[in-house]
Amino acid sequence: MPKELLHTALFLLTLSLSQFNTAASQRSTGQCGRRNVSSMVREYIEPSFTRIQGGEEAIPHSWPWTAQLLRDGYHICDAVLIDQSYVLTTSHCIAPSPISLRYSILLGGHSYKSGEKYQVVGMSIHPLFNKVWSRAYDYALLKISPPAIINENVSTVCLPTAPPPPNRDCVVTGIF
């Protein structure tokens, strides 16, 4: 087996094993993917600057798995909480400086640099990131400490078990 394939297999196996029991038990008990917003209808808000065309501000805490990734205290990217100890983000956000002590995660916030701070204590960039083509395999796993406290503003996302069906709406969340 080529070295790159072995690294990919080990990365995915590590991710799968670390999440298998947690994700399966969370999905079966309904603990992941829970949004603590009773109504998704909101009053009209004056449009503001958004990075996503047609994007709009979400109801506060309606996407409780959305996280902010900070490097040296500055917001650089978004992430998603997949387990109390792990967040998933993009490799291009951490590849320029893969030193975990420089990074922290904010969970439970609704605006720029708000929420509870957690230290990144480990990181794993996909071994094929940028090797096949530019930005290929652009995801990374970050371990945080202490483990996140799940509450009304912080929850884990359910990891997909299959691609979304055709012609279904998909939602993109982020801080900006």
Selected residue with higher pLDDT from 62 and 17? 62
pLDDT at residue 166 in the model? 92
Distance between CA 15 and CA 108 in Å, rounded? 24
Question: Which residues span the domain enclosing 96?
Answer: 1-29+63-159
Per the domain annotation, does 53 fall within a domain? no
H or E, element range at 1: none
Domain count, the chain: 1
Inside any domain, residue 83: yes
| Structure tokens belonging to residue 22 | 């947690």
On whether residue 122 sits in a domain, the answer given is yes
CB neighbours of 120 closer than 8 A, spacing ≥ 6?
A: 100, 101, 103, 104, 105, 142, 143, 144
Residue 101 lies in a domain: yes
110 located within any domain:
yes
Judge if pTM exceeds 0.85.
Answer: no
CA distance 158 to 25: 11
Identify the pLDDT of residue 86: 97
| Per-residue model confidence as pLDDT tens digits over 77-113 | 999 999 999 999 999 999 989 999 999 999 999 888 8
Q: Residue 132 is part of a domain; what is its CATH number?
A: 2.40.10.10
